[in-house]
Amino acid sequence: MHGNSRNSMTRILISILLLGPVAFGQRYCDYVRPLTGTNKMGHTYPGATVPFGGVQLSPETDTLPYEVNGKYNKDVYKYCAGYQYTDKTIVGFAHTHFSGTGHSDLGDFLIMPTTGALQLNPGTVDQPTSGYRSGFSHSTETASPNYYSVLLDRYNIKAELTTTTRVGVHRYTFPATQDAHIILDAVYGIYNYPDKNVWTYMRVENDSMVTGYRQTNGWGRTRTVYFAMKFSKPFASYGFQNGSKKQVYKGFWRKFDQEHNFPEMAGTHIRAYFNFGTTTNEQLTVKFALSPVSTANALLNMNAEATGRSFDEIRKTGEDAWEKELSKTKITADKEVMKNFYTALYHTYINPTVYTDVNSDYMGLDRNVHQAEGFTNYTTFSLWDTYRALHPLLNLLQPARNSDMISSMLAHYDQSVHHMLPVWSNSANENWCMIGYHSVSAIADAVIKGTYKGDANKALEACIATANHDQFEGIGDYRRLGYVPEDKSGASVSKTLEYAYDDWCIAQMARKMGNEEVYNTFSKRAEYYKNVFDASTGFMRPRLSNGNFKKDFDVLNTDEAGYIEGNAWNYSLYVPHAPEAMIGLMGGNKRFVAHLDSLFTMQLPDSFFAHTEDITRDGIIGNYVHGNEPSHHVAYLYNHAGAAWKTQERVRMIMQKMYHPQPDGLSGNDDCGQMSAWYIFSALGFYPIAPGSDRYELGSPAIQTATVQMENGKTLMITAKNQSDKNVYVHDVILNGKPLNRTYITHSELTGGGELVYVMGSKPKKK
């Protein structure tokens, strides 16, 4: 067969694959299981959202006290996304949620429909009827992209949720009653410690419209969310409950009955209720627009996206948006993989989230209102997690959006009084969670791959300023000593290693931009990982400011032993930008492979698990921890030690063990899509161990075929011949008809389109 006819055949094949299951009446959305990760520690939410949507409308299943006897209530941790699958009650539906985070916030504006005698507190699990909560059953629950539905048993109310980018839409189907209520609870929140609610303000604008805002002091220290709420029919009456602390000011509000039909309320703990009469199966729709800026902007958002459109229309628009994004990557695979893949892709396209009003206004980190000129402003940057695979995935599949995300990081930098890029930012707040300055990785990755549309010089300046911020987390010592000393700044090994990688990113970016000086400076810093390597133990080990390694070295300890979310075993492998050099330090390929094998096979003592909060035993293979991020590149390191077949074996095992399309299907926090992005890359057969490089390590695809529509108009077709659960070993890789005699593939090869064929077999090909 000569070239031309091969190309024709390919085109036909692509055409068929492009149709995908849609040709048979099924949509990629149908494979998505939003409930995945809602049990235990996945911390995902099952509710409705659109791709990168600013509204995440989802059920809340409990209201635990944040403190019990003055101490943090550990059970609260399960509720980072508001929902736990095993719970029996629903307290309502709130409009903002993080997806998969390991700390939390949000849960703004809980709405609950009820009937009968009005109750304004949520009640408890033990005594649900002591409040307004309702029991529910998974048998009546539906969760799909941009749609969630459940029957509230107690009230016989069917609840349905959908969204636009900036508006949450509720539809409640009521029984016939003269006592139907919609409760708007602004007391509820996620991680809701007693003083979290700083201020709430509400105005009843007319008989069907309410506006206001809620200001909180949570993970985001100074955070305000504005809203406009529109009912599909006028309420008969309404009122407020003000549970605020005593407002002793001798005001003149006392003149009024502020609790009944009085149109304005303010305080720290406010609940509102709206009363209706309903006929049998009457549907009441509530449209709830958000804005980071003002109630006027929330109204603008409402009018631009939801006014005049039915629940069903809005639902369909959002589903279509999901289908459009998901179908840019069409795969064929066995059913479990199909579900895993599109669920993972769904979870990767949730974050970061849009944080701009329809008129381009957004709230800046400096607490001034800014205009996003030439980009959409995003928030929710969980960068310690997402620089690894989520941003590289977006950089490959959503480069325009990823470029806007980088513009958003640079706007953050401009507005930062610390003159730093984001570390972990949300809703115009920096919460400083985790370590490193990993914005630079995402930025360098985009600059190097040519996808960042903004000013690269400015981006480089921001990266350098951030990396030279001596007051931040030991950077001053790091620059002076070549490592972060553990006696000065904890998790010092993790910091040293991650700073060295980030510095390498800056160097790569500078090289690409022709800035030799910066390249040299940061290339030197990129080697500082060597300064914490302890040849005597073969591990990266905490050092003190006097130059000595710290004594009392426990290679399994993850608890303030020099590391964070990982122990010496896992973190010692974190030199993603120089794996060969690292392998050299650790004794060469053979010893390194044996070391990795030990990692995956060793037996951990029970005591280990006492310290891991957000992963389960299921998230661990030997001492390899997939439930936390620092090891996400580890399985791919075999490639660099001449044992690619072990990479292939391990990544297939991890995919199979750690991902299931069920509520308990995630082995740790999804972390704003990082866990899921790992899956997408791995299932497609490659993974970027060092973003900022143009290389992806080849692994073992879990799909049969994949057709990836690039934004540049090119199409990449991936075929995994003979792939099966047993045929996990790659025998050949052929790119556009030519064997690829290496264990990596480059960004331009992927985005150039064409045909990538993996030939699989049941036996390892050891060379």
Q: Can you give the binding site for a copy of itself, defined by CB under 8 A? A: 66-67, 72, 103, 191, 193-196, 198-199, 201, 203-205, 211, 213, 215, 217-219, 221-222, 245-253, 255-256, 262-264, 266-267, 294-296, 366-369, 417-418, 424, 431-434, 471, 473
Angle at 534 between CA 595 and CA 573, to 5 degrees: 40
Computed over its alpha carbons, how large is the radius of gyration of the chain?
A: 26
User: How many whole angstroms separate alpha carbon 502 and alpha carbon 26?
Assistant: 43
Q: Are strands 378-379 and 353-354 parallel, antiparallel or unpaired?
A: antiparallel
Nearer to a copy of itself among residue 251 and residue 713 (C-beta): 251
Nearer to a copy of itself among residue 193 and residue 549 (C-beta): 193
Nearer to a copy of itself among residue 103 and residue 391 (C-beta): 103
Strands (E), 77-222: 89-90, 92-94, 110-115, 134-135, 142-144, 147-152, 157-163, 167-174, 177-185, 197-206, 209-216
Q: How far is the CB of 393 from a copy of itself (least distance, A)?
A: 26
Handedness of CA 404, 406, 409, 413 (dihedral sign): negative
Nearer to a copy of itself among residue 299 and residue 756 (C-beta): 299
Q: How far is the CB of 614 from a copy of itself (least distance, A)?
A: 13
Q: How far is the CB of 300 from a copy of itself (least distance, A)?
A: 11
Nearer to a copy of itself among residue 79 and residue 679 (C-beta): 79
Phi, psi of 615 (to 5 degrees): -130, 160
Q: How far is the CB of 384 from a copy of itself (least distance, A)?
A: 11
Q: How far is the CB of 562 from a copy of itself (least distance, A)?
A: 16
Phi, psi of 360 (to 5 degrees): 75, 0
* Residue found by looking up tokens 């707040």 in the block: 429
Amino acid (1-letter code) at residue 234: P
User: How many whole angstroms separate alpha carbon 500 and alpha carbon 529?
Assistant: 6
Q: What is the DSSP letter of 567?
A: -
Question: 629 with 570: CB under 8 angstroms?
Answer: no
Task: Return the H-helix or E-strand segment holding 297.
Answer: helix 295-305
Nearer to a copy of itself among residue 368 and residue 741 (C-beta): 368
Distance set, CA 485 to CA 462, 470, 489, 545, 736 (Å) = 25, 14, 6, 5, 50
Nearer to a copy of itself among residue 67 and residue 75 (C-beta): 67
Q: How far is the CB of 478 from a copy of itself (least distance, A)?
A: 15
Handedness of CA 299, 300, 301, 306 (dihedral sign): positive
Nearest Cα to 608, choosing from 546, 650, 563, 660? 563
Q: How far is the CB of 195 from a copy of itself (least distance, A)?
A: 5
Nearer to a copy of itself among residue 387 and residue 636 (C-beta): 387
User: How many whole angstroms separate alpha carbon 293 and alpha carbon 759?
Assistant: 54
Q: How far is the CB of 215 from a copy of itself (least distance, A)?
A: 7
Task: Return the H-helix or E-strand segment holding 362.
Answer: strand 361-363
Provide the token pair at 134.
């309702």
Nearer to a copy of itself among residue 1 and residue 248 (C-beta): 248
Q: How far is the CB of 251 from a copy of itself (least distance, A)?
A: 6
Nearer to a copy of itself among residue 431 and residue 515 (C-beta): 431
Q: What are the residues whose beta carbons fall under 8 Å from the beta carbon of 608, sequence distance 6 or more?
A: 556, 558
Q: How far is the CB of 563 from a copy of itself (least distance, A)?
A: 16
Cross-strand pairs, 170:
161, 286
Provide the token pair at 751.
């985005």
Nearer to a copy of itself among residue 6 and residue 419 (C-beta): 419
Q: How far is the CB of 629 from a copy of itself (least distance, A)?
A: 17
Nearer to a copy of itself among residue 189 and residue 701 (C-beta): 189
Provide the token pair at 554.
């426990």
Nearer to a copy of itself among residue 267 and residue 663 (C-beta): 267
DSSP string, 208-228: TEEEEEEEE-SSSSSEEEEEE
For residue 674, the SS3 value is helix
Cβ density class 236-261: b for 16+ within 10 Å, e for less: eebbbbbebeeeeeeeeeeeeebeee
Nearer to a copy of itself among residue 294 and residue 719 (C-beta): 294
Question: 166 with 291: CB under 8 angstroms?
Answer: yes
Angle at 540 between CA 538 and CA 544, to 5 degrees: 120
Q: How far is the CB of 482 from a copy of itself (least distance, A)?
A: 21
Q: How many CA atoms lie within 13 A of 380 on its CB side?
A: 30
User: How many whole angstroms separate alpha carbon 135 and alpha carbon 274?
Assistant: 22
Question: 247 with 194: CB under 8 angstroms?
Answer: no
Q: How far is the CB of 74 from a copy of itself (least distance, A)?
A: 11
Q: How far is the CB of 578 from a copy of itself (least distance, A)?
A: 28
**Count of residues making up the chain:** 767
